[in-house]
Amino acid sequence: MALDPMILKSLTRQVEPVDYLRCTPWARRKTPLGMGFGETRFASPSNSFKLLYIAEDLATSIAEAIIRDRFEGKTARVLAQSDVDDWGVCEVSATHPLRLLSLRGDACFKLGISTDIVGAKAHDEARAFSQELYERTDLDGIVYHSRLRKKNCMAIYDRAVTPGLRAQPVVQIERLAALVPALNSLKTQLI
């Protein structure tokens, strides 16, 4: 994949997220900035780096981490209490501006890469792209629009997490007063 350095530079943004949200399994509450290897959108296909994902609001964080595509083809949009019992959420803020590649708007077109990198359910192309970006640049991560909500999300590379982010303690998601309004905005009912 050929990535033009001048276009990469033109799409690089100094971003300092404040109170972005991270949904995380409750079992991992003691390490709110903990990361592992996975098969997420921008994860390393070779397990050579880890990522931390954060979203600009609670509804987007829930949509990306918990709901995902579970309601596809269904008319009822219902989450059982047990679907959220094992989840927590924490606020994450940057300690200084992060250098992120913005893949919002027409960025994929400008880079000459597939729009599937940010818009497809399948992650193979996005993972290969992220691997190359990680290896060829010193960027801290990627800012993009959620394919589910079109709101800002960030995938922060492991090399930037410890020096660049701080997190508040993880709280049980079901205890948040904002949970019901967030679910309402997702047209989802909690039973």
Q: 131-168: per-residue pLDDT in tens?
A: 999 999 999 999 999 988 899 999 999 999 999 999 99
Mean pLDDT computed over 114-133: 92
Tell me how crowded residue 174 is: count the other CB atoms within 10 A of its CB. 14
pLDDT at 105 > cutoff 90: yes
Report the pLDDT averaged over residues 32-53: 94
Question: 191 or 31, which is more confident?
Answer: 31
Per-residue pLDDT at 69 exceeds 90: no
User: Mean pLDDT, to the nearest integer, of 22-29?
Assistant: 93
Supply the mean pLDDT for the chain: 92
The answer on pLDDT for 82 being more than 90 is no
What CATH number was assigned to the domain covering residues 5-73+87-173? 3.90.175
Query: Residue 120 pLDDT > 90, yes or no?
Result: no
Q: How confident is the model at residue 1 (pLDDT cuts 50, 70, 90)?
A: low
Residue predicted with more confidence, 15 or 38: 15
